[in-house]
Amino acid sequence: MSGSRLRSVATVIGLSIQEGLRKRVFLAVLVLTAGFLALYGLGAHFAFRDVDGFATGETEILDPRAFTGATIFGLAMFATLFLGAVLAVFLTLGVVRGDAESGLLQPIVVRPIGRTTMLIARFAGAAALSAAYVLIVYAAACAITAAAGDWTPDHLVTPALALALGVAIIAALSLLASTLLSVTAQGIVVFMVFGAGLTAGLLAQIGNAINSDSLHTIGRVASWALPFEGLYTASLHALISDTTGLTGVVLELGPFGGSEAAGPGLIAWAFVYLLGVLALAAFVFSRRDL
Amino acid sequence: MAAPVLAVKELSKRYGKQQALAGVDLAVEPGQLVGLLGPNGAGKSTLTKIACGLVRPSGGGVEVLGRPAGSPEARAALGYLAELFRFPGWCTADELLRLHQRLAGSAGGEAERRELLDLVELGAAADKRIEAMSKGMQQRLGVAQALVGSPRLLLLDEPTSALDPVGRRIVRELLEELRRRDVAVLLNSHLLSEVELICDHVAIIAGGRLIKAGTPVELAGPAAVEVETGSGVRTFEGATREDAPRIVAELVAAGERVYRVEVRHSSLEDVYLEAVGGQTG
């Protein structure tokens, strides 16, 4: 990429960040996230305090701290993904069609920056901010869980990176939707796709619990069709992948049921998928009359 | 003659079943101020957008300084203000120009920004947020934004639609200043008097076709010779300046007393109305 193009990318990313700061989007996100983390901290505190009251006999066969920690942290992971997805969608809302309809886009794209560079810059800005946000919330939730119950996930880094990659994919899907749909339709469609992915994951979980191959297959197909779901499931798996015995079995019956390791295949596919979605968005954008 | 800054050749554009442009030819020379007239929906904005690379043509082509419209080189050579535009409301005027300096790769710095804001008489509003500006101020800022990076070609789509008379005068003087700087301008406007006043060349399009083009004087050709005689004012439709002496001689020979002779030109408005046949979008 040439120097001038890189400068243009940096300018558009800077514009997005400046806009977020001036419109107090980041301040609102910060306040709401602090609220979520405070609530999570409170929940973790009471959950660990209550399981400390388990009888000695029970704790010999089930590790209550591991069970509680993994369960509430799994919930925090879901919330982190959801909040990251909300941020990714809002940072890419109306980027193409919406801004073109309001007249914001034209003065920018008639400059030498060009459409593809503009799109890449908007993706880079949204994906980097959403991914950074997810990593920060993940780390905070992890620290709260460790402080409240002295429990940490079996794998610390890989689930965080998988979640970050997941929200980057959501940002790319939202950007693609913005090339085709008006602002409201874009928001609705992306959140419906997000919901559909998570629902498919739940189906796989139910399939696992009732030993249904069909439901399990639906879940697996959805994981590949919407890799953010596969990455989320893989993140959940990584939290407890080294937990054995009855604790591991009980956790598999809960929100972690059906979770599978990401494996290099899914990670590689997620990157190919991401690039494919961006390429399609750039193609649609390049052919759109503004 | 120097190569045209903007060369439009056999340009056509179709939106679904609607033919927006049907084989338009147009050239804008360096330093020339060309007014593009036509009813709403005539294809003026489409032509401008194709020249900027915002819309893809269905046929024909547009070149800016010999480069295909939409190419990075072509985009680097032009400035554009859309009819319907919006700038980020949270930006100040100075920040907006700084943003466009970065995007245009302009090294003009603060001096360029100050000069442009002064040109559109917004020097005192450099730190004012755009959302706090009137529509007229935003339009003048839009003109300044289009001038960032010293473009060789300026494409202005209804740049004075939201301006009051003073704002129009500011833009008119700015356009005359640009002509002195050899900047070519394609001006889409409905304000015929304004176009007549400042444009070197006028093109009228209707129904996607170029139906009349020329200098304002060429277009507003002689329409009549009006003679005030002792028996009243007599109008000789279609007569030219060269006919005036003969008409006067004939009237005098017929015993009329002649007090005043005037060769009447049709206004651009007359030409326009005749050309578009009363069409409106």
Q: Does B135 lie in the same domain as B87?
A: yes
The verdict on a CB contact (< 8 Å) between A111 and B54 is no
Residue B207 lies in a domain: yes
Are residues B207 and B88 located together in one domain of the fold? yes
Contact A110 B78 (CB under 8 A): yes
Is B78 an interface residue toward A (CB < 8 Å)? yes
In a domain, B182, yes or no: yes
Interchain proximity A107–B15, CB inside 8 Å: no
Q: Which of B73, B97, B74 is nearest to B87 (CA)?
A: B97
**Residues paired with residue A30 on neighbouring β-strands, in sequence order:** none
The answer to whether residue B278 sits within a structural domain is no
Q: Which of A184, A165, A123, A147 is nearest to A72 (CA)?
A: A147
State the Cα–Cα distance between residues B85 and B66, nearest whole angstrom. Answer: 28
Chain A residues with CB-CB distance to B129 below 8 A: none
Distance of alpha carbon B34 from alpha carbon B160, whole angstroms: 15
Q: How far is it, in rounded angstroms, from Cα A174 to Cα A151?
A: 35
Rounded Cα gap, residues B277 and B281, in angstroms: 12
* pLDDT tens-digit map of A244-258: 666 666 666 665 555
Structure confidence by residue, pLDDT tens digits, B151-178 = 999 999 988 888 888 888 888 888 888 8
- Give CA–CA dist A79/A76, Å, rounded: 5
Please indicate, yes or no, whether residues B116 and B132 belong to a single structural domain of this protein: yes
Provide the residue range defining the domain that includes B47. Answer: 6-216
CA distance B89 to B68: 33
Q: Which residues of B touch A114 (CB under 8 A)?
A: 72, 75
Q: Are residues B77 and B139 in the same domain?
A: yes
Q: Which of B80, B81, B86 sits opposite A104 (nearest CB)?
A: B86
Residue B11 tokens read as 């340009």
pLDDT, average across residues A13-41:
88
Say if residue B248 is in the same domain as residue B148: no
Contacts of residue B57, Cβ cutoff 8 Å, sequence gap at least 6: B11, B12, B13, B21, B50
Scanning the structure block, which residue is given the tokens 């245009």? B104
Residue B275 located in a structural domain: no
B56 in reach of chain A (CB within 8 A): yes
**pTM of this prediction?**
0.83
Q: Are residues B139 and B228 in the same domain?
A: no
Residues 6+ apart with CB under 8 A from B167: B136, B139, B140, B160
The reply to whether B259 touches chain A by the CB within 8 Å rule is no
The residue among A258, A256, A250 whose CA lies nearest residue A210 is A258
Q: Min CA distance, A188 vs chain B (Å)?
A: 24
Q: Write out chain A residues lying below 8 Å of B72, CB-based.
A: 112, 114
| Average model confidence (pLDDT) across chain A | 86
Instruction: Answer yes or no: do B128 and B253 share one domain.
Output: no
In a domain, B136, yes or no: yes
The tens digit of pLDDT for each residue in A5-25 reads: 788 888 988 888 888 888 788
Nearest CA distance, B56 vs chain A (angstrom): 6
Q: Is A174 exposed, middle or buried (0-12, 13-18, 19+ CB in 10 A)?
A: buried
- Are B133 and B233 contained in the same domain? no
Evaluate whether residue B40 is within a structural domain.
yes
B185 within domain boundaries = yes
ipTM of the complex as predicted: 0.80
Q: Tokens 């419109």 sit at which residue?
A: A23
Number of domains in chain B: 2
Between CA A72 and CA A65 the distance in angstroms is 11
pLDDT at A237: 82
Q: How many CB pairs under 8 A join A and B?
A: 66
Which CATH number covers residue B19? 3.40.50.300
The verdict on B183 and B257 lying in the same domain is no
Give the number of other CB atoms < 10 A from CB of residue B121: 18
pLDDT digits (tens, 9 = 90+) for B83-119: 889 999 999 999 999 999 999 989 999 999 999 999 9
Residues B47 and B6: their CA atoms lie apart, in Å, by 11
On whether both B235 and B202 belong to a single domain, the answer is no
CA dist B85 and B151 (Å) reads 19
Residue B196 lies in a domain: yes
